[in-house]
Amino acid sequence: MKRTTARSAERAFPRFLEAWPDVKALLRATDDDLTRALSTVGLQRQRTKTLKDVAWYISLHEGGRIPDTLEGLSRIPHIGPYTARAVLSFAYDIPVAVVDSNVVRVIGRLFSGVLAGRPAQNTVQAVADMLIPKESHREFNYAVLDFGALVCRYTNPRCSVCPVKGQCDYVDQEVCDSG
């Protein structure tokens, strides 16, 4: 499981971009330098190899430019739907829904009365795509990601402080907190 907190990524990202501002610079980076830079976000050896693989692919197949479409990003090895959509929303300002395990949980619970059992990832993605606003989509994505981590938690969800509990199909279930 690759869990990296937003806070650790936020600390590492500016220094990372300063050291390696583009794909060419990333290709020149030593594995030791990348591993050190990624140590604050965890899984640094795995991420070092992945970054090098992605940089080589982008250099060889995309002319050194990171694609700005879902299709283009999806062609890159190691880039899945979550990462591709995060790049589009957060880097390219394209209104797409970013769905991780927190978002799956939030949508699954919020709409548990109409979504059968544990909804499939593509079902949740379709619902999230319908909910994403054209404006402020970044903030919406961040909000839902954080909401799932802080309020609509996997264990001990904080239903008593939930701002959407009046519309939530899950809130009546016994697993919600009582206070």
Domains in the chain: ranges and CATH: 6-66 (1.10.340.30), 101-161 (1.10.1670.10)
Condensed to tens digits (0 to 9), the pLDDT of residues 74-90 reads 999 999 999 999 999 99
Task: With a cut of 70, say whether residue 52 has pLDDT above it.
Answer: yes
As a whole number of Å, the end-to-end CA separation of the chain is 31
Q: Is 111 left (phi over 0), alpha (psi -120 to 50) or beta?
A: alpha
Task: Write down the H helix ranges in the chain.
Answer: 6-19, 23-28, 31-38, 44-61, 70-74, 81-86, 101-110, 121-131, 137-150
* C-alpha R_g of the chain: 18
By C-alpha distance, which of 27, 23, 47 is closest to 37? 47
35, 67, 113, 149, 170 from 166: Cα distances, Å:
46, 41, 13, 20, 10
- Predicted local confidence at residue 1, as pLDDT: 45
Widest pairwise Cα distance in the chain: 56
- Predicted local confidence at residue 115, as pLDDT: 87
Q: What percent of the chain has pLDDT over 70?
A: 93
What is the distance between the alpha carbons of residues 97 and 151, in angstroms, rounded to a whole number?
Answer: 19
What is the distance between the alpha carbons of residues 87 and 96, in angstroms, rounded to a whole number?
Answer: 10
Condensed to tens digits (0 to 9), the pLDDT of residues 114-165 reads 887 788 889 999 999 999 999 999 999 999 999 998 999 998 899 999 999 8
10, 12, 78, 80 from 15: Cα distances, Å:
10, 6, 23, 25
